[in-house]
Chain A
Amino acid sequence: AQSVTQLGSHVSVSEGALVLLRCNYSSSVPPYLFWYVQYPNQGLQLLLKYTSAATLVKGINGFEAEFKKSETSFHLTKPSAHMSDAAEYFCAVKGLGSSASKIIFGSGTRLSIRP
């Protein structure tokens, strides 16, 4: 079965510091992976997606993620944190079986930015 595990329910970094949010996946086939962001009282916004075209994926707002098969990881990074990056971040994987392809979410990581 497809699953993702996010390490760290809460990450706090200083403004301007590197952001690293960790995600590991489990999949019986080459996975299709996503990162979504949820700002307070808002819905889920797609940050980026990996669909096997390139291992380094660039997304919106300066975020990127690297797919590493050997480590079964898909960590999200941003070189320099901004106060507006404070939000909940969800790693997700496409489900198998149905063509409708549900998304399976990780438990989320809350990112806080210190001034």
Chain B
Amino acid sequence: EPEVTQTPSHQVTQMGQEVILRCVPISNHLYFYWYRQILGQKVEFLVSFYNNEISEKSEIFDDQFSVERPDGSNFTLKIRSTKLEDSAMYFCASRGDGDGNQPQHFGDGTRLSIL
């Protein structure tokens, strides 16, 4: 079964540094998402992306965050200047076209640790 893959599985970065989290969505999917889960808390929506533009973003997704689909397969989340509170598990998800009620498929996540 096709999967969403995320790299790296664990990223350790110094505060203030830029970090890029990478995702390869399922190949025929058109909607892409990033979520995060701070340790011990619920999974929170960050941003959705469709047709090469952001469809929706949460209040968490401020100017320090950006997303990009640089080619036909990758979907990236960039944090420009990381803060301690950015430490979390970041999940990428994708969904196929058509019925908006089709489920999103999630990757295994990238654990981001800010020192």
Cα distance A32–B100 in the bound complex, in angstroms: 10
Secondary structure type dominating chain B contacts: strand
Q: Which B residue's beta carbon lies closest to that of A52?
A: B101
Tell me the total A-B contact number using a CB cutoff of 8 A.
65
Q: Which candidate, B14-22, B67-75, B76-84, B104-112, is the interface stretch facing chain A?
A: B104-112
Contact A103 B104 (CB under 8 A): yes
Report how many residues on chain A are interfacial, defined by Cβ distance under 8 Å.
25
Secondary structure type dominating chain A contacts: loop
Which one of A46, A51, A94, A106 lies within 8 Å of B42 (CB-CB)?
A: A106
Interface residue ranges, B against A (CB under 8 Å): 4, 6, 31, 33, 35, 41-45, 48-50, 55-56, 91, 93, 95, 100-101, 103-109
Interface residue ranges, A against B (CB under 8 Å): 32, 34, 36, 42-46, 49, 51, 90, 94-95, 97-108
